[in-house]
Each structure stands twice: as structure tokens, then as C-alpha cells.
Amino acid sequence: MTHPLPLTGERTLPGVRGEEYWFARHEAAYRWIATAQAHHLADAVVVEAGSGEGYGAEILRGAGARLVVALEVDAAAAAHATAAYPDVATVRANLATTPLSDGSVDVVVCLQVVEHLWDLRGFLGDLVRLVRPGGLVIVSTPNRPVFSPGLARGEKPVNPFHVEELDAEQLADLLRAAGFDAVHVLGLHHGSRVAAWERRRGVDLVAAQVAAVTGEGAVPDDLAEFVATINADDFVVAEAEGAHDLIATAVRP
């Protein structure tokens, strides 16, 4: 199958066979924002920092934002998003030098990006600059204790694309240190259908998918069939403890 962008092993795209779980896990966070944070998005100027293929920015636009500006460093991804989602203003930009004026943004969404940044503290400080007082920032990232069991704080992740992986306390502390208030960290979990599948087979779905790729460990016979059915409704947002991904909200004072 031909895909609109190269498959890097890290970037998530719609419609990639065998990667339905990872795409749905990402999409579920956007869907949660579009519903649970709809009052913040309504008629707002929204920036997505690190927008990738662009599907997330389009979801945010559809939730009622007045303007969505999608910042993406990769030239091919930015060009694709411009063509695929013409109602989103996609801008090629490096998050180390955000090209936006002070206090110009109502909401910033940054999902599955901060673990890739070499200067995360500098980036969060820049968000304080560009978000208006009372504006909202939403950040998601893999929950290190679940995503990389045994990896200690500050250790280099096994994932070659990641600079640092965080736990809930670290993420909250970083947002507060940057100058944000009302910091609240939630988590994205497997929903009841996925949890039931895992219980019946006595295996973690993520571990099963890793085993299928690496050839290490037993792989359930119906793994590929089940993964192909997964969608955003198979995830829930609840407390941070034990979550697969963390989702933090914070307010600019």
C-alpha cells in the first residue's frame, strides 16, 4: 500500500495496516480534547505544536476552533498537511524557535512531541510567552513507567526517537516550573474491549505487538485480526496512575 508520507517507525499515519492500535491511541487523545475541552476550543485560536500528518489539527478545527495553526518541522509532512487539510494553516517551523507573537494564542495542543525535544524546558517557557493569560496548554507524552518499564528518571530511552521519557509527577513539575498554573495530569488507558482481550489471552496488547515485530515471545493467533478492529473508542481518559499515555492540562496565569 502506498502511504502519503514515509513510514519512519515513529510517526503515526491514518490507514496504515497493522498500526491501527497506535493510530487509534493517538486519535483518542485528540477526540478527548475535542469533547472534554470543547469550551476552550470554541472560536479559539489554536496552535498544534508538532502536527505531523495533520489529522489531529483537522480534528481540532472540526471541534469549533476559529483558526488552527499547525507547526511541523518536517517539510514533506508540512506539504502533505497543507494539501490534505486546506482549512488548517500549516506552517513549517522548528519548535525551538516558535514563529508566533506574544499572547497570540488561546490554546496550544502538543501531543506525543515533548519526549522528542532536546530543550523541553525552553519550549515550555516559550509556550508561556505565546499563550494569552487564561489560555490553555494540553500536552501528552508516553507514561514512562508503563511505556518503558524499568527505565529510571533521566535515563536515555531505548526508543531512538526519544530524548527523555517522563512520569506524571515530572510532567506536572515541568509545567509548573515553566510558569503554568492549574496543572492537572490525566492518563489514556485501554478501554473495556481491549482490557477484556488482554485478560482472555493473559498478555498485554502492546507487548504482544512488540513480540510480533521482534520475534521474541508468544504472539496470540488473533493478534493481527484484533488490532485491525481497534479505533479511538477503545481508549478512555482517567487518572494518570497506570496510564499508557499522560495528558496534562495547564493554564497560563
For 30-50, how does the pLDDT look when each residue is reduced to its tens digit (9 = 90+)?
Answer: 999 999 999 999 999 999 999
1 has pLDDT over 70: no
Question: Distance between the two ends of the chain, CA-based, in angstroms?
Answer: 48
pTM of the model: 0.94
- pLDDT band of residue 253 (cuts 50, 70, 90) is very high
247 vs 225: CA distance, rounded Å: 29
Residue 88 has pLDDT above 80, yes or no: yes
pLDDT of the residue at 18: 85
Instruction: Give me the mean pLDDT over the 108-118 stretch.
Output: 97
Give the pLDDT confidence score for residue 132 in this predicted structure: 98
Asked whether the predicted pLDDT for residue 11 surpasses 80, the reply is no
**pLDDT tens, 169-211?**
999 999 999 999 999 999 999 999 999 999 999 999 999 998 8
Fold of 20-190+240-251: Rossmann fold (3.40.50)
Query: What per-residue confidence (pLDDT) applies to 13?
Result: 77
Collapsed DSSP state (helix, strand, coil) of residue 182: strand
pLDDT of residue 45: 98
| CA-based nearest residue to 108, from 89, 85, 126, 135 | 135
